[in-house]
Structure 1
Amino acid sequence: MFAIYELCIIFGSPIIFAIGGFYFCKERLFKENNIRHVVTQILFAITFSLSCTMFELIIFEIMDILNYGSRYIYWKVVLYTMLLMCIVVLPIAISVSFLKSFFQTKRNYVTMFSILFYGIYIFMFWKIGENFPFLNAKYSIFSIEQAISRVGIIGVTVMALLSGFGAVNAPYTCMTYFLKPITEASIANMYRKVKQNQSMIASKKLKYQQLEDELNRSAFTRSYESPSNIFHRFLNSVSNSNAHVKNQMDELTNDIYELEEFAKYLEIEYKEQTYWKERADYSKTLQGKYFNVLGYFFSIYCVWKIFISAVNIIFNRVGKVDPVTKLIEIAVKHMGYDIDIPFWSQQLSFITIGVIAVTSVRGLLITMSKFVYAISSRKYAHIIVLFMAQVMGMYFVSSVLLIRMNMPHEYRTIITEVVGNLQFNFYHRWFDVIFLIAAIVSILFLYLAHRNVRVKSDL
């Protein structure tokens, strides 16, 4: 049934992807916290491998690699395994890991609450399907289509949020127009403030330690003196002095707390100014100028995408022909080119899907790295990674549902057969709605942040 080379591809590529996912988890997600949580790394590697394999199968479909029966079985195994990971394995692993951090020695509590939390998760997961018209009524409640449709809506939402923010943030990050005006003098001034504040904290902590030592010596002296001897009045004065010392220590404690809070603010301001100065220096390089030009193209794309999303929502419009074929048809019809539409549609679709696959995987991994570095701690890092693995799985399942529209009709058949006859148009409409909301909110947020910086610089 399977040729030797097909078996090598079917078993070899997932193993290679899994090794890459394991290495990424170990070196990029766990290295910062110096954690060795093998089970988490294995689960992340499996999810990453399945995600990459789904994109690989789409490319196989376009390039006609492997025979149809092999691809169909391969699709089924990969998709079913991914759903098992997203709906069963990863949620249970997350709940068990989370509860173990609270009930380290009480395994009965961990088991009991894990079952309870998983039951709540499944109930909420299933309730999603009651509010969205993404499934044909003919499918039973336990069909695979029921699971795919729910995983898809969560993944499409995540993808649209990231895409909406990315479409706005990319030009904001690349274009020199949005650079904050930072000079070497302002950075030096901020650095001086940081050092002065650190010096004040050290001085007050030293003073606090001296008062604490004085208080301890006074307590030691009183423990060896009798209140009935000639030192009675002296001890009363010492007691009054101790009360004064305690008041001073309380004041110093408050001062130290306020200075340390102010130190956090100064540190953030210093790092932000340094970051924007480095960006300004980078923008003057050849590569920086290239990204500045690229930022203008991103801006045009952002405006176009927001406009098209609004049009799609208002007129309930979903493209029937994939964008690549549509572009070729326009070239043939209006520009007089005599080209082989099926051939070039296949080649350009392969390139388009390849670019989408690479950028999707790269973008999600970069986002995950930043997210884990920002909020994780040594105690909870593995829980965050498990959660991100589940999001990644749902993200790439939904990517398959959306990429289907970018494929010519003859290549969509096997995906439709595997995932079922879902309401694919709904997912595209939902993506447009969430993308538009995310883009508008991102524009407002970045506008307010940029205006605030301008006001601060003027002051």
Structure 2
Amino acid sequence: MLELVVVGGSYVGFFAFAHIFFSRWLFQDYEVKDTGVFSRLIFCVCLACSMSILEVVIFELAAVLDSETRQLVWQLDLVVLAFLIAYLIPFVLIFTLAREQQCRRRTALLLATTFELGFLYAFWKLGDYVTLVQDATPQPTTIAWFVSLEAFVSRVSFLGVNFMAVLSGFGAVNGPYEYMSMFWRTVEEDDVRCLEKRLRQNLEMVVTKKKRIVVERRYVASTETTSGRANPLLRLWHWVSPQESKESYLQNVQKEVEILETLSQELFLEIHAMRELQKRAAEMRTLKGRFFNLIGYLFCGFCLYKMVMSTVNVVFNRDRDKDPITNAMEKILYLWPALASWINVRFISDISSLTLVGILVFTQTRGFLIMLLKVFRTFSSSVSNNSVVLFLAELMGMYFVSSFVMMRMNLPTQHKRHIDAVLGPIDYYVYYCWFDVLFVVSALVSLGLLALVTMSKVSRTAIDSFTLHDKYP
């Protein structure tokens, strides 16, 4: 009875949190229409099951609930996520996109069904090109095996590991760049005022050119009306031998306005970023700012360590079967053998593993939710809210399932067996190797792109070459 209360209370709490996150953070400035209720339900169920998986990992280390109950909850969560990720969300997403393009309901159903069949076929064939289960395990090609939990977890985890590795590689580069003061630009007040003056001039140019467009269009309309009434022969002459009208000129001016408006947005964002840097530089002189700067240095060291160790893992093909805590304890006991008689190594190892996994669960969940907010607010203006929510739910399910698989590496051996009983004979070594390779590649690409974007942003907003014709056309 107590186990039922704990499991049921966890599901209710996670679903309530997902609903609050959906309503108050994700959609605080937006409105969901049409299939919004269904999209909300899918998103909340996906987030609740994803968080439940990671919660049971902590329960596994803390010895909360029976082993059979924990495995049952894991299986239930994975079955629900399998149905959502592989079957329901892709179908509903394509159906929603088709309906938004004014397709008929029958046409939208046909498109969604066709895409779902193609998606399932590609999902099936993924196992033929990448070894996702252990070589000694036979892989039957029956439909029953395809819809099994093992087939789903192995394929979704592979896709999610790609997603995780790209995000982790970008975060390993962008995190220190954002949070360490040594990478911040020195912002002078004169530079900010110069950009603000540039922005005001740019806005004046936009207003002037828009006024010119309105005046010219009124003049063209009145001229055509007056010439047509006063002299029909002149109107016929313009029709037979048309002269260059001002329409092409107005189109060119309109293009210039669009370019200037884009530049105004970039200038505004640059000014906002510079003001934020000034504010953060002022906070850095306080005790709180120095503490967070120290945390930033530690985080930078961890990112560098992660990049180096991932490179070493790829180059030297290191064994990843031992969790970090056990590996560290073995090295400590090797250096100080007498330490084993003074402390309870098993107890400290379990507590350390629980703490490490708890930190990983918290940071991964928090980081992914923050990323969801950024992605939604970036694409919600160009794509419908329902489509963005369904796409994020698909990514979220893949991310947390692959996190569950990858987190196995951080657990002691006795806890790994319980996860293996749920996931089956998955070849975890493939995921670890693939993650390290993509992590290193993503970090290097992110480093190059970050340098390129920084230089292009400076060159784009540093030019101050307004001519008299630009300002007063």
* TM-score relative to the length of structure 2: 0.87
Q: Does 1:56 align with 2:49?
A: no
What letter matches 2:138 in structure 1? K
Counterpart pick for 2:417 among 393, 408, 413: 413
- Equivalent of 1:446, from 445, 450, 458? 450
Superposed counterparts of 1:172-191, under 5 Å: 172-191=177-196
Aligned residue in 2 for 1:140: 140
Following the alignment from structure 1 to structure 2, what is the Cα–Cα distance between the partners of residues 238 and 277?
60
Q: Is the 8 A contact 2:266 2:461 kept in 1?
A: no
Which residue of structure 2 lines up, in the alignment, with residue 215 of structure 1? 220
Query: Which amino acid in structure 2 is aligned with residue 32 of structure 1?
Result: D
C-alpha distance 400-211 of structure 1, shift in aligned 2 (>3 A): closer
What is the aligned partner in structure 2 of residue 14 from structure 1? Answer: 11
Q: For the structure 1 residues 82 and 346, does the alpha-carbon distance in structure 2 shift closer, same or farther, using more than 3 Å as the test?
A: same
Q: Deviations over 1:187-231 (max 9, x none)?
A: 22222222222223322332332333333334444555465xxxx
The whole-number CA distance in structure 1 between the counterparts of 2:223 and 2:189 is: 51
Q: Which runs of 5+ in 1 are unaligned?
A: none
* Residues 390-401 of structure 1 aligned to structure 2 (within 5 Å): 390-401=394-405
Q: Is the Cα contact below 8 Å between 2:206 and 2:260 reproduced in 1?
A: no
- Secondary structure of the residue aligned to 1:284 is helix
Aligned-pair CA distance for 1:74 = 1.7
Aligned pairs for 1:113-128 (under 5 A) are 113-128=111-126
CA deviation after TM superposition for structure 1 residue 340, in Å: 0.8
For 1:333-372, what aligned pairs fall within 5 Å after superposition? 333-335=334-336, 336-337=338-339, 338-372=342-376
Please state if 1:75 is matched with 2:74.
Answer: yes
For 1:178 and 1:188, the matched residues in 2 are separated by 22
1:317 matches 2:322: no
Alignment-derived partner of residue 93 in structure 1 = 92
1:270 matched to 2:274? The reply is no
Counterpart check, 1:437 vs 2:436: no
Q: List gaps (5 residues or longer) in structure 2.
A: 464-473
**Which AA in structure 1 matches 2:45?**
I
- Aligned equivalents of 1:91, 1:249: Cα separation in 2: 46
CA distance in 2, matches of 1:203, 1:309: 56
Residue 385 (str. 1) matches residue 367 (str. 2):
no
Distance 1:200 1:409, change over 3 A: same
Flag the 1:452–1:199 CA change in 2: closer, same or farther, 3 A.
Answer: closer
Percent identity, aligned pairs only?
A: 28
Q: What is the DSSP-based 3-state SS (H/G/I as helix, E as strand, rest coil) of the residue aligned with 2:32? A: coil
* 1:344, distance to aligned residue in structure 2 (A): 1.3
Which residue of structure 2 aligns with residue 26 of structure 1? Answer: 23
Q: Which amino acid aligns with 1:7?
A: L
Q: 1:161–1:435: 8 Å Cα contact kept in structure 2?
A: yes
Shift of 1:32: 3.0
Q: Give the Cα separation in 2 of the matches to 1:42 and 1:455.
A: 46
In the alignment, the residues of structure 2 paired with residue 236 and residue 34 of structure 1 have an alpha-carbon distance, to the nearest angstrom, of 52
User: In the comparison of the two structures, how many residue pairs are matched?
Assistant: 447
- Closer/same/farther in 2, CA of residues 432 and 268 from structure 1, 3 Å limit: same
Instruction: Report 1:281-320 matches (<5 A).
Output: 281-285=279-283, 286=286, 287-320=288-321
Secondary structure of the residue aligned to 2:132 is coil
Q: Is the 8 A contact 1:94 1:386 kept in 2?
A: yes
- For 2:451 and 2:211, the matched residues in 1 are separated by 45
> Higher mean Cα deviation, 277-286 or 411-420?
277-286
C-alpha distance 109-238 of structure 1, shift in aligned 2 (>3 A): closer
Q: CA 1:343–1:213 in 2, change beyond 3 Å: closer, same or farther?
A: same
* Greater displacement, 408-417 / 261-270: 261-270
Aligned to 2:470: none
Query: Judging changes above 3 Å, is the alpha-carbon distance between structure 1 residues 216 and 445 closer, same or farther for their aligned structure 2 residues?
Result: closer
Instruction: Report whether the alignment pairs 1:195 with 2:195.
Output: no
- CA distance, structure 1, for counterparts of residue 280 and residue 53 of structure 2: 38
Of 69-78 and 443-452, more deviation after overlay is shown by: 443-452
| Partner secondary structure for residue 437 of structure 1 | helix
Give a deviation string over 1:155-175, Cα, whole Å, max 9, x none.
111111111111111111111
* SS of corresponding position for 2:319: coil
Distance 1:450 1:208 in 2: 35
Residues in 2 aligned to 1:414 and 1:161: alpha-carbon distance in whole angstroms:
29
Matching residue of 1:328:
329
The answer to whether the 8 Å contact 1:145/1:422 transfers is yes
**1:75 partner amino acid:** W
